[in-house]
């Protein structure tokens, strides 16, 4: 039985399908307009839905200029760092019946399981032993996975320590809660609460999410992060699953959502995710709306320009080659060493087990392999969690991120967390490459005071067990 739902004070269906569709169908390529919009974005200003539609209409020549601008903006706001995390699937029971998901209730091929306390500890220990510091816990939508259960899982994850290993930030991907539920998980110390609309297009949403299920209520899901804000969760993530409907519409939906949250609460989303539909056990995929690699790259670059202060997450759904190619287009976070089977970090070796996972991953390389590649490509892998732990979230994060000041905090923290990884976990090859990169990054630092402080902290990490020194 579905309980009565309570909404936020700002509840509103702000997605106007007809208007967004007209923008897509009627906006024509305009070289002068595209260049003016790029200039606005490079000035760290969020774009309107109409301006985003103009970028979506850009022809191939103008798209190359969009790509170049996205690279420039990413470098100016986030520097060359890439934040790393891992997903930890806690349970795949689900009362929903989403057409594209292997966890849907009617899928008889799915093996249902929920990790118990000991199993959660074992999974976290395995993740800490390879160097992870940031996790996102993933839950199906089920009565067993209520706010109390999620909060208990968060507290258990934080309690696990192996050697110098610890999880410093736990994010959540779970069903929308009511305001009291969000308060409970906030109290447990969560970082970002992530809710994907999957698709912002009403008809497509209804086709994929039966109205008899919790997820079938479009407005309740759309209002979810508004309730999170009103419960005190000022660090939220949005996302769409590309391949269910026209990718251009979903981009406009994400931008609309970002603008609504910023207008209503003074804070936009901390992250935007843009996964593509992938094969899954017991799922037949309609390929009508599949997004090509070129379109995928374009949508990421446009999101970077449209919402300059927001972290963009590129997941291991994609292949290693595509992830490597796209890293400079505005991506600021990736997962690595990921397993999405329930219990996957200790039980299944290197092979994926389709009937135990939500979808097929494209990149199952180890964390160390991904770290080594990033370093070789002159990116600084980061496990930094300082903004969250020092209260630089919500409006405070916006104050730093929108003007681009976040780079001043993140680069030093990225270097110290990278050094922790190199000393405690890295292979010999990764360690050698990483030490060379740290020296090069220190040489680039213009603030001598910060540079000397970073050097002192790096020295302590090398010579002692002192860890977790952050700016």
Range of the domain at 438: 404-463
Could you tell me which residue, 465 or 403, shows the higher pLDDT? 465
Confidence of residue 387 (pLDDT cuts 50, 70, 90): low
Residue 154, pLDDT above cutoff 50: yes
Which helix (H) or strand (E) is 404 found in, with range? none
Q: What's the confidence (pLDDT) of residue 470? A: 74
With respect to residue 118, please indicate whether it lies within any of the assigned structural domains: yes
Mean pLDDT is lowest, of 47-51, 387-391, 406-410, 411-415, for: 387-391
Q: Tell me which of 399, 419, 452 is where a domain ends.
A: 399
302-361 confidence digits (pLDDT tens):
999 999 989 999 999 999 999 999 998 889 999 999 999 999 999 877 777 777 778 878
Q: What percent of the chain has pLDDT over 90?
A: 79
Together in a domain, 429 and 320? no
Mean pLDDT is lowest, of 148-152, 400-404, 453-457, for: 400-404
Residue 372, pLDDT above cutoff 90: yes
Together in a domain, 420 and 324? no
Residue 2, pLDDT above cutoff 60: no
Q: What's the confidence (pLDDT) of residue 5? A: 76
Residue 398, pLDDT above cutoff 60: no
Residue 396, pLDDT above cutoff 70: no
Q: What's the confidence (pLDDT) of residue 1? A: 34
Q: What's the confidence (pLDDT) of residue 469? A: 80
Q: Tell me which of 374, 399, 424 is where a domain ends.
A: 399
234-262 confidence digits (pLDDT tens):
899 999 999 999 999 999 999 999 999 99
DSSP 87-106: EEEEE---S---TT-TTSTT
The domain total for the chain is 2
Q: 273: helix, coil or strand?
A: strand
Distance CA 101, CA 209 (A): 11
Together in a domain, 144 and 207? yes
DSSP 290: P
Could you tell me which residue, 229 or 279, shows the higher pLDDT? 229
- Alpha-carbon 42 to chain mean position: 22
Together in a domain, 105 and 155? yes
With respect to residue 455, please indicate whether it lies within any of the assigned structural domains: yes
Cα torsion 124, 127, 133, 135: sign: negative
Distance CA 257, CA 11 (A): 12
Q: Tell me which of 365, 380, 399 is where a domain ends.
A: 399
Together in a domain, 422 and 307? no
Together in a domain, 312 and 421? no
Together in a domain, 350 and 275? yes
155-202 confidence digits (pLDDT tens):
999 999 999 999 999 999 999 999 999 999 999 999 999 999 999 999
Mean pLDDT is lowest, of 41-45, 57-61, 410-414, for: 410-414
Together in a domain, 360 and 344? yes
Q: Count Cβ atoms below 10 Å from residue 48 Cβ, excluding itself.
A: 15
Together in a domain, 364 and 448? no
363 to 51, 259, 321, 335, 370: CA distances (angstroms) = 34, 32, 9, 9, 10
Q: 150: helix, coil or strand?
A: helix
- Alpha-carbon 313 to chain mean position: 4
Q: 407: helix, coil or strand?
A: helix
Distance CA 235, CA 261 (A): 11
Q: What's the confidence (pLDDT) of residue 76? A: 86
- Across 431-456, average pLDDT: 94
Residue 83, pLDDT above cutoff 70: yes
158 to 85, 165, 275, 381, 414: CA distances (angstroms) = 15, 11, 27, 22, 21
With respect to residue 202, please indicate whether it lies within any of the assigned structural domains: yes
Q: Per DSSP, what are the bridge partners of residue 238?
A: 195, 272
Inter-residue contact 311 to 332 (CB < 8 Å): yes
Together in a domain, 388 and 409? no
260-309 confidence digits (pLDDT tens):
999 999 999 999 999 999 988 888 888 899 999 999 999 999 999 999 98
Inter-residue contact 198 to 177 (CB < 8 Å): no
With respect to residue 126, please indicate whether it lies within any of the assigned structural domains: yes
Q: 139: helix, coil or strand?
A: strand
Q: What's the confidence (pLDDT) of residue 190? A: 95
Residue 51, pLDDT above cutoff 90: yes
Q: What's the confidence (pLDDT) of residue 392? A: 56
DSSP 349: T
Q: Which residue has the tokens 């446009």?
A: 302
Together in a domain, 336 and 454? no
With respect to residue 34, please indicate whether it lies within any of the assigned structural domains: no
Read off the CATH number of the domain in which 371 is found. 3.20.20.70
Could you tell me which residue, 4 or 134, shows the higher pLDDT? 134
Together in a domain, 200 and 240? yes
Provide the whole-model pTM: 0.94
If we measure between CA atoms, which residue out of 257, 250, 256 comes closest to residue 223?
257
The dihedrals phi and psi of 268, each to the nearest 5 degrees, come to -85, -175
If we measure between CA atoms, which residue out of 379, 339, 354, 239 comes closest to residue 299?
239
Average of per-residue pLDDT values in the chain: 92
């Amino acid at each position: 039985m579905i309980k009565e739902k309570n909404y936020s004070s700002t509840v509103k269906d702000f997605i106007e399908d007809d208007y967004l569709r007209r923008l897509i169908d009627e906006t024509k390529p305009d070289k002068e307009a595209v260049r003016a919009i790029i200039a606005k974005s490079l000035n760290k200003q969020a774009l309107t839905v109409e301006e985003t539609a103009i970028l979506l209409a850009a022809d191939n020549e103008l798209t190359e200029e969009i790509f170049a601008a996205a690279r420039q903006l990413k470098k100016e706001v986030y520097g060359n760092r890439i934040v790393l995390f891992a997903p930890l699937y806690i349970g795949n029971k689900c009362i929903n019946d989403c057409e594209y998901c292997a966890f849907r209730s009617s899928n008889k091929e799915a093996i249902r399981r929920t990790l118990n306390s000991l199993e959660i500890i074992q999974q976290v220990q395995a993740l800490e032993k390879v160097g992870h510091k940031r996790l996102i816990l993933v839950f199906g939508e089920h009565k067993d996975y209520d706010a109390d259960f999620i909060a208990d899982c968060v507290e258990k994850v934080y309690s696990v320590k192996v050697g110098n290993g610890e999880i410093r930030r736990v994010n959540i991907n779970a069903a929308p809660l009511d305001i009291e539920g969000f308060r409970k998980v906030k109290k447990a110390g969560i970082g970002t609460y992530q809710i994907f609309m999957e698709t912002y297009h009403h008809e497509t949403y209804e086709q994929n999410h039966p109205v008899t299920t919790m997820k079938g209520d479009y407005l309740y899901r759309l209002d979810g992060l508004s309730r999170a804000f009103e419960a005190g969760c000022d660090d939220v993530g949005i996302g769409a699953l590309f391949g269910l409907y026209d990718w251009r519409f979903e981009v406009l939906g994400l931008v609309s959502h970002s603008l609504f949250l910023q207008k209503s609460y003074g804070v936009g989303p901390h992250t935007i995710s843009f996964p593509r539909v992938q094969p899954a056990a017991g799922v037949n995929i309609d390929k009508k709306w599949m997004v090509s690699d070129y379109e995928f790259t374009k949508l990421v670059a446009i999101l970077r320009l449209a919402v300059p202060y927001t972290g963009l997450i590129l997941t291991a759904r994609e292949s290693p080659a595509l992830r490597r190619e796209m890293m400079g287009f505005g991506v600021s976070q990736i997962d690595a060493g990921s397993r999405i089977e329930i219990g996957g970090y200790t039980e299944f070796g290197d092979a994926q087990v389709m009937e135990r996972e939500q979808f097929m991953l494209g990149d199952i390389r180890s964390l160390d392999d991904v770290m080594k590649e990033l370093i070789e490509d002159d990116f600084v892998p980061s496990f930094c969690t300082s903004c969250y732990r020092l209260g630089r979230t919500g409006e405070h994060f916006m104050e730093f991120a929108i003007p681009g000041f976040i780079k001043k905090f993140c680069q030093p923290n990225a270097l110290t967390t990278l050094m922790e990884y190199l000393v405690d976990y890295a292979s010999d090859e990764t360690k050698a490459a990483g030490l060379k990169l740290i020296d090069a990054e220190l040489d680039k630092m213009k603030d001598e005071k910060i540079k000397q402080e970073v050097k002192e902290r790096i020295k302590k990490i090398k010579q002692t067990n002192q860890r977790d020194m952050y700016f």
